[in-house]
Structure 1
Amino acid sequence: MHLVLASGSIWRKELLSWLNLPFQVIVSDFDETSITSNDPEELVASLAVAKAQVVTEAIRHQSHPETKRLHPELEGKHYEPTLVIGADTVIVVSREDGSLQILGKPKDEQEARFMLTALRAKTHQVYTGVAIVNVETGEKVVEVDRSLVTFGNFSDQELSLYLQTKEYVDKAGSYQILGHARRFLDNLEGSLTGVVGLPLQKTANLLETMGLIIPVNVREVVLAKTGFPD
């Protein structure tokens, strides 16, 4: 069974490698702004499916000229049978009036500063959706992980120093919890890998549902790699 990760995220690639399964990365070119929802669970599930489906269709139609242009890495390769993994993450934080705000990826440093200021000294929710599509049969399975993350009351100077690292680029909520932003972490309830962008235990369970055998103990691997159980 061939495995494809439909994401350009370095961290998702790293996390998936912890399962000790061979896989290939084919980046999905799906426009994330084309799907909107006020329900974060529905949003990440829909986006994860859409990302996986775009790559699934590219694999199915490798000979199409447009596919060759967008995905030259598919040229001359055969992918049967194949499972495609898609994932998406959003952050949800409470506004002062009690309403919920969904945070995706920042457009620039100014928006990243706004997002991280909104998360400072608060508990926020992290939703990550994972979808797996069987290229041959069209069968798909989807799971959504929800975790709670609490940031400490970091200073404006600490925030400015963090922004200088540019780690916020292309990160939901403008941070990567296993990177420099780990210093902001006060408490975590749920899946660390879900917060990073690919809930590994849920992903492993879905892959097993689709017929793959996972050769590692996910909890032990995550604990050894991060110091956190997953």
Structure 2
Amino acid sequence: MPTQASGETPAAPPIAWRRKDLLGLEELTREEILTVLDQASGFKEISTRSIKKAPTLRGKVVLTLFYEPSTRTRASFSLAAQRLSADVQELDLDASSAKKGETLVDTARNLRAMGVDVFVIRHQQAGAPALLARSVDSSVINAGDGTHEHPTQGLLDLFTMREKLGNLKGRKVALVGDITHSRVARSNIWGLLKLGAEVGVVGPKTLIPGALKELGVRIHYHLDEVLGHYDVFNILRIQLER
């Protein structure tokens, strides 16, 4: 059964999930985020079994559509879908009609006609997953779009912090590094704020958007000055490709 983090007021009872797509944490409510995290706690047990399978997605087809390079995200989505008994297809875009100029929407509509139930998409353009979600009746999961969001990485970070710290309300979390270009940072910030954490960012002025102050995010420019003031430091790499 899903478990509640120690000391956390439950989102009681867990809400029924009514969204077709997962496009970003900005659009999710606190209760929706907690529901996902609680369900993830229950599913985590699958990875400890000798046969790592559950029938949750039996009969469903999940297709990964990655317009940017990926190792961990792509592999983890494929493994997760397989462990939930889905049929998984990984489209090789270098060998697809996309190389001949076929648009994202046309590609997806053709694949939907073949029976794809869930698209997992990574794209260099912010908003591409939202465009796809409006264009097909399949579910769409954003695996990172430009500098916009990376919601599943944000949820994973929240899950890890919650396992280690329990209730995140009132906890102080700092994101360190290239905040301006990091979609992971944006998803973390939205998720942490909705769960009641105090959020700070640390880095050089050129890599921190000043507009974050409007969300109540604290801005720091020197890491050594804040090392004793936060419960968690999430270190982000420089996004050279952006």
TM tier relative to shorter chain? under 0.3
**Greater fraction of residues in strand:** 1
TM-score (normalizing by structure 2): 0.25
State which structure, 1 or 2, has the greater radius of gyration over its C-alpha atoms. 2
